[in-house]
Structure 1
Amino acid sequence: MDIFHLSREIEASDMSSLEAVINCDEERIRLEKEAEALAGQEDGGGEQLDRIYERLEALDASTAEKRAAEILFGLGFTKKMQEKRTRDFSGGWRMRIALARALFMMPTILLLDEPTNHLDLEACVWLEETLKKFDRILVVVSHSQDFLNGVCTNIIHMQNKKLKLYTGNYDQYVQTRAELEENQMKQYKWEQEQISSMKEYIARFGHGSAKLARQAQSKEKTLAKMERGGLTEKVTRDKVLVFRFTDVGKLPPPVLQFVEVTFGYTPDNLIYKNIDFGVDLDSRIALVGPNGAGKSTLLKLMTGDLVPLDGMVRRHNHLKIAQFHQHLAEKLELEMSALQFMIKEYPGNEEERMRAAVGRFGLTGKAQVMPMKNLSDGQRSRVIFAWLAWRQPHMLLLDEPTNHLDIETIDSLAEALNEWDGGMVLVSHDFRLINQVAHEIWVCENQTVTRWEGDIIQFKEHLKKKAGLSD
């Protein structure tokens, strides 16, 4: 069986993205040798040989190009992009090429670690539909509940160094686990009550009259037998982190206004043309649209990192904006601890206040004082959230905030956002997060921003139809 673990992006070379996907020549040569060896055996290799021929057929150059092109297209590569050299793509796009290659190779066992991290909503929908039909073995690590629901038929839950298997998708796992834990709690309570009443009896009558002492002894035996048989463990809950943003009070609208804004990185290649809209402190907006449509660009226009070619962006004089994006992690000085970093960024605050600030985002104890290079990506994300929250912004611009967070943390981020009174603009490929926190959905494409008239679930259906994937 061949096992393929997608662990890094495709190397930067002069090969086109299409060639990089098809470039499995070494595999073809190996298979042909294997087939020859098997055919020479007495039993003719049977089933195994059939499998190899099936695989060689899949690698057949005449059909390979068409298949590879379809996969790349599904992941957002236009015809023109398929001809572009891999060295001209960013890491995120090279990761997509590697994903395309993994799907093209059709291994017996495919291991994917957070495959949706570098994708936009369109590509997520395409990948979900493709993996649903993947007729080999797929093992996936993902924090996107929506994706797990669409793709998985079994869930393995890791807790206390043990693995527990559940059948069904993510929602079914949550339901089954809740039922099992409920029963376990009842069983545990019942056992503990039995034990304490037996112990009490033994303590009271163990030295009493012969008859009572005998009964006490038999209870001791029952107790020992129960303990040997293994007692029900107390239910351990996953540690859930609570995020908290400080409430900001009100600013009179308009807080942030786009007036006939036109923008492009070069004047002959416009991303936005004459757009008008406003964002206030009660806005909860999700920006959606294909990669390259300018979602991150729009956020930079809001913060003032980019200036329009024409028109204007008006911000309220007192408006404080904080933006979360992937590149903030590069801002962290990894030799420092989270605590040192916060004290350096916000001088004049005593250590205790900074400890509390980081603690509010679930970074406690040792994790606050060890060098950040020893923290996981998820823990570093929390440092960034603590750093942003300390500025007490009126408005949060979140660009893919979920990439290194686990499911429970994403849910607590959603809760924190829902309890907070400021404005929010979110770019995310996590349908569930959008569903939890966004009140309006704006679509960025074809140089404009338009409001979508339904919810995100309807938008997902619309994307499926557009890609010709709906039933």
Structure 2
Amino acid sequence: MLQIESLSLTFHGHDLIVDSELELNYGRRYGLLGLNGCGKSTLLTAIGCRELPIPQHMDIYHLTREIEASDMSALQAVVSCDEERVKLEKEAEILAAQDDGGGDALDRVYERLEAIDASTSEKRAAEILFGLGFNKKMQAKKTRDFSGGWRMRIALARALFMNPTILLLDEPTNHLDLEACVWLEDTLKKFDRILVVISHSQDFLNGVCTNIIHMQNRKLKLYTGNYDQYVQTRRELEENQMKQYRWEQEQIASMKEYIARFGHGSAKLARQAQSKEKTLAKMERGGLTEKVARDKILVFRFTNVGKLPPPVLQFVEVTFGYTPDNLLYKKLDLGVDLDSRIALVGPNGAGKSTLLKLMTGELAPLDGMVRRHNHLRIAQFHQHLAERLDLDMSALQYMMKEYPGNEEERMRAAVGKFGLSGKAQVMPMRNLSDGQRSRVIFAWLAYRQPQLLLLDEPTNHLDIETIDSLAEALNEWDGGLVLVSHDFRLINQVAREIWVCEKQAVTRWEGDIMDFKEHLRSKAALSD
């Protein structure tokens, strides 16, 4: 067990946590929650760098970046991190070469090697990589031949393989598809040491966590149970707190009124007034109940666009591959209208993002045709938009540059619709959090008033509350939506149909996304 009392944490002169306590117990899996920018990642880093008093015998692994690009294969990259094993094997070699054959010392080394299961380490590493979507061929591929997202998966595999005493994961599902998310959830729920995870996926937190740590008002508050249980407990605690707060305020108001009316009256009434004054002072000394601090929830708003007669977007016998001998899609026939609410699912590499690019016209089919309504405006959100932002500019300057000829007030309102106000609109975007930058991109997309939104992993870097606001805004909006996401809950909130991309085809899944999750589970032979 790890207990840190009177914990304070500052970042660039800002207090993130003041005089709070943190308790981490063996065998527990903690979800760390809090609004964007409250300092969750900074807290993980402080634990990972041992800026907090953590006993040396507790080894910590904090997953912060993708594996370095080198000539090592994915499998080697995972196994090579096993420094202790490599060191022990060398030690055993030296001891065995001694005249006495190593004696007790060698026995101890072999015992330790057995404990960390050295002979099966390659098999274990291969199983972890397979769960994260690497087939045999990919496991043998050099790490420098993988994209950043896949190298992040290798780093995640390494973290799981090391099986440290304290494992710290910050948004581990960000680079995963639904299959890998299901596998990771099932793997982590069996993790029997100390896990602290930051995740914006409620579904994932429900599957993995035994406790929730909530960061709010510079304090850490511990809840027992998974995400849903935390929501319920917090609601009950806050209701009781508000009841107590209102009762106290009523008492105070009536005492103050009595004192004001009778404090200078007859001796008897003045005495009663004095005693009420004492009661009041005693209440204040004992500490009054604070009013519940509501989280500032940000509302998203998309402008309604009216109707276009269908078909708005039609694929007629579309065939596509990046090379003619390696086709991703064969003779696709499908249609998207303004009342479509579609989630695309399927393994990584099946072509979900490619399908979106065929819809926008960024890619052209090898055969067949994509028909778009003449007046159709499409906007697409994807991860790489953030890379195009000029971080020296403010959000406001960026919008003025992208949409010239508009007065400043109008651009302020456009950014304000996505929860960026005041200072955040005018400071350089490099000082904004990733979540705030995502909002700038949403404001930029929404200003084009698209009738069809294509969202490719829109939830990365958004917190849970913001994802709920996004879902609400999408449900209130009248345009068409095609979504690619690894967030089961968002899909559940907004999608009316599920399309599965695999085996060069797109087929409609009969059932909802939770049925699909169970299907993935049984396909991977994972059971509770």
Q: Shorter chain as normaliser: what TM range?
A: over 0.9
Q: From 456, 461, 470, give the equivalent of 1:404.
A: 461
Q: Secondary structure at the match of 1:326?
A: coil
Q: Please give the alpha-carbon distance, in whole angstroms, between the structure 1 residues aligned to 2:111 and 2:387.
A: 46
Q: Please give the alpha-carbon distance, in whole angstroms, between the structure 1 residues aligned to 2:521 and 2:223.
A: 28
* 8 Å Cα contact 2:314-2:335 kept in structure 1: yes
Q: Secondary structure at the match of 1:443?
A: strand
1:72 and 2:129 aligned: yes
Q: Please give the alpha-carbon distance, in whole angstroms, between the structure 1 residues aligned to 2:427 and 2:295.
A: 24
- Partner of residue 67, structure 2: 10
Give me the CA root mean square deviation.
1.7
CA offset at residue 24 of structure 1? Answer: 2.6
Any residues of structure 2 matched to 1:17-56 within 5 Å, and which?
Answer: 17-28=74-85, 56=113
- Partner of residue 167, structure 2: 110
Q: From 261, 267, 284, give the equivalent of 1:227.
A: 284
CA offset at residue 330 of structure 1? Answer: 1.2
Any residues of structure 2 matched to 1:346-425 within 5 Å, and which?
Answer: 346-425=403-482
- Partner of residue 302, structure 1: 359
- Partner of residue 44, structure 1: none
Could you report, residue by residue, the CA deviation over 1:85-133 in whole angstroms, capped at 9, with x for unpaired residues?
0000001000000000000000011000000000000000000000011
Q: Please give the alpha-carbon distance, in whole angstroms, between the structure 2 residues aligned to 1:89 and 1:59.
A: 29
Higher helix share: 1
CA offset at residue 214 of structure 1? Answer: 1.1
1:209 and 2:266 aligned: yes
User: What is the TM-score with the length of structure 1 in the denominator?
Assistant: 0.95
- Partner of residue 121, structure 1: 178
Q: Please give the alpha-carbon distance, in whole angstroms, between the structure 1 residues aligned to 2:86 and 2:388.
A: 46
CA offset at residue 54 of structure 1? Answer: 7.7
- Partner of residue 184, structure 1: 241
- Partner of residue 255, structure 1: 312
Could you report, residue by residue, the CA deviation over 1:382-405 in whole angstroms, capped at 9, with x for unpaired residues?
000000000000000000000010
* 8 Å Cα contact 1:287-1:444 kept in structure 2: yes
How has the CA–CA distance of structure 1 residues 375 and 58 changed in structure 2, closer, same or farther, with 3 Å as cutoff? farther
Any residues of structure 2 matched to 1:241-280 within 5 Å, and which?
Answer: 241-280=298-337
* 8 Å Cα contact 2:85-2:118 kept in structure 1: no
- Partner of residue 330, structure 1: 387
Q: Secondary structure at the match of 1:352?
A: helix
- Partner of residue 130, structure 1: 187
* 8 Å Cα contact 1:17-1:82 kept in structure 2: yes
1:95 and 2:152 aligned: yes
Q: Secondary structure at the match of 1:68?
A: helix
Please list every run of 5 or more consecutive structure 1 residues that lacks an aligned counterpart in the other structure: 36-48
After TM superposition, where is structure 1 displaced by more than 6 Å over at least 4 residues in a row? Answer: 31-35, 52-55
CA offset at residue 56 of structure 1? Answer: 3.3
1:431 and 2:488 aligned: yes
How has the CA–CA distance of structure 1 residues 202 and 22 changed in structure 2, closer, same or farther, with 3 Å as cutoff? same
Match of 1:106, as an amino acid?
Answer: N
Q: Please give the alpha-carbon distance, in whole angstroms, between the structure 1 residues aligned to 2:269 and 2:110.
A: 78
User: Size of the alignment, in residue pairs?
Assistant: 457
Could you report, residue by residue, the CA deviation over 1:263-282 in whole angstroms, capped at 9, with x for unpaired residues?
00000000001110000000
Could you report, residue by residue, the CA deviation over 1:294-313 in whole angstroms, capped at 9, with x for unpaired residues?
00000000000000000000
Q: Please give the alpha-carbon distance, in whole angstroms, between the structure 2 residues aligned to 1:260 and 1:445.
A: 16
Q: Please give the alpha-carbon distance, in whole angstroms, between the structure 2 residues aligned to 1:61 and 1:236.
A: 52
How has the CA–CA distance of structure 1 residues 369 and 222 changed in structure 2, closer, same or farther, with 3 Å as cutoff? same
* 8 Å Cα contact 1:461-1:470 kept in structure 2: no
- Partner of residue 150, structure 1: 207
Q: Identity across aligned pairs (percent)?
A: 88
- Partner of residue 341, structure 1: 398
CA offset at residue 210 of structure 1? Answer: 1.4
* 8 Å Cα contact 1:58-1:64 kept in structure 2: no
- Partner of residue 500, structure 2: 443
How has the CA–CA distance of structure 1 residues 337 and 285 changed in structure 2, closer, same or farther, with 3 Å as cutoff? same
Please list every run of 5 or more consecutive structure 2 residues that lacks an aligned counterpart in the other structure: 1-57, 93-106
Q: Please give the alpha-carbon distance, in whole angstroms, between the structure 1 residues aligned to 2:113 and 2:333.
A: 55
* 8 Å Cα contact 1:293-1:444 kept in structure 2: yes
